Amino acid sequence: MTETYDIVLATPFPNYNFFAHKLRELCGQNNLTFFLCNDSWVNEFLKKLEARQIAARVVLDLTANQTLDDDPYVVLAREVKRQGGYVIDDPDLTREAAHKGILHRRLVENGIPVPETVVVPRSEIEGFKLDDETKARIGLPYVVKPSWGDSGVGVEVNAMSEDALLWSASQAPNADSFLIQQKLEPRELGDHVGWFRLFHICREVIPCWWNPYNHEYQMVTPGEIKQYHLGPLRRIMRGLARISQMKKFTSEICLHRDGKFYAVDYVNADPDMNPRSFYANGVPDEIVRHIVWLLFYEAMHIVKRGHGYFDDELRESEADRNWLVRRQREQAAMEIR
Ligand SMILES: Nc1ncnc2c1ncn2[C@@H]1O[C@H](COP(=O)(O)OP(=O)(O)O)[C@@H](O)[C@H]1O
Ligand SMILES: [Mg+2]
């Protein structure tokens, strides 16, 4: 018989244990089955899934390698989708959204404020030169980064010439294009730097101050939103979600010294889930807990659609009530044998 897991958490990061345990706890409290699929299990899980020994209703995919076709978590996400399960987020949408070059063009078309940028295909980086007009628009130094990247790999924030493209290309062998981008300078706001990392989780936006130098998070309070006129943050995040169609992601937004907000890092599909109480530059615990709840709630609604009515579950638990009697009968039968 196929064993079906209601919620599967797919993540290679052991430092997401706090998140995983909270999720498991919610599943237990709400009578949903749960599986944590990490590096130790992903290949075996996939094999059993393909053999239809197990199935998954909802996969919460906290990985970020959707551009690599043979990444086991990507293969897993695709297989679950093929079998009619629901993956948050859809691996095919994630693949598009995580591509800084593709998304950049769509953001510009849709009026989302982004820094001045030129996208250079890998095939053109050798000997590439900006024309004078573009050079003036972008300024110097500028930022060079790969279209597919993560954790700042291959990002040069003080590039003085097009040579940085070659360096970036050597650091990011899987990237098919590179961005030359205006360097933003965050304004100071009281004790804070005007740089934000925001979570978008299933229609809810959670803003944090995110220090771009030491990567420390701090919650943005409702008072600060008013005091510093931070309303545009939420509008930009909603725009990013609408255009990318992603449910869970983080973005970086900068309040530049010209007084305007710009999206800098557009869609990170694997939001940090390290709690602050264990990691110096982790996410405030209350935010991690809230995100667990938002993702659980979304997944639960999807799972319940397939479960039928609440009353049906009650009937099932009536049968379970006789468990002890059944067990005693089974034991007695065994002793007789
Ligand atoms: N246009 C920019 N202006 C200033 N700093 C930038 C810009 N783009 C990136 N950075 C800096 O480089 C870091 C990494 O770049 P990012 O675009 O976030 O790529 P990644 O996806 O690797 O995180 C950012 O967190 C930020 O500190
Ligand atoms: Mg980033």
Ligand 2 centre and the CA of 153: distance in Å? 9
Contact partners, residue 135, CB within 8 Å, separation at least 6 = none
Pick the residue whose CA is nearest to atom 8 on ligand 1. 264
Q: Which residues contact 315 (CB under 8 A, 6 or more apart)?
A: none
Report which of 143, 167, 165 is spatially closest to residue 156, judged by C-alpha positions: 143
pLDDT band for position 316 (50/70/90)?
A: low
For 116-183, the fitting CATH number among 2.60.130.10, 3.30.1490.20, 1.10.10.60, 3.40.50.140 is 3.30.1490.20
Binding site membership of 175 for ligand 1 (Cβ less than 6 Å): no
Find the 264 Cα to ligand 1 centroid distance in Å. 6
| Ligand 1 atom index nearest CA of 182 | 1
Task: Work out the pLDDT band at 40, boundaries 50, 70, 90.
Answer: very high
pTM of the model: 0.91
For ligand 1, say whether the CB of 149 is within 6 Å of any of its atoms. Answer: yes
Q: Report the separation in Å between the CA atom of 102 and the middle of ligand 1, taken as the mean of its atom positions.
A: 17
For ligand 1, whether the C-beta of 115 sits within 6 Å is yes
Give the residue whose CA is nearest to atom 25 of ligand 1: 212
- Ligand 1 nearest-atom number relative to CA 262: 1
Phi, psi for 51 (deg, rounded to 5) = -85, 0
pLDDT tens digits, 254-283? 999 999 999 999 999 999 999 999 999 999
What is the mean predicted confidence (pLDDT) over 208-236?
A: 96
CB-ligand 1 contact for 224 (6 Å cutoff) = no
Distance CA 286, CA 297 (A): 16
Residue 264 CB–ligand 1 contact under 6 Å: yes
Rounded Cα distance, 181 and 253, in Å: 14
**Domain residue spans of the chain:** 3-96+289-311, 116-183
Judged by phi (left if over 0) then psi (alpha if -120 to 50, else beta), residue 31 lies in left
CA of 46 to the centre of ligand 2 (A): 30
- Tell me the two tokens of residue 148: 């597919």
Mean pLDDT is lowest, of 130-139, 167-176, 286-295, 300-309, for 300-309
Which CATH number applies to 3-96+289-311?
3.40.50.2300
Arithmetic mean of pLDDT, 6-16: 93
Q: What is the pLDDT of residues 92-124, one digit of tens each?
A: 999 999 999 999 999 999 999 999 999 999 999
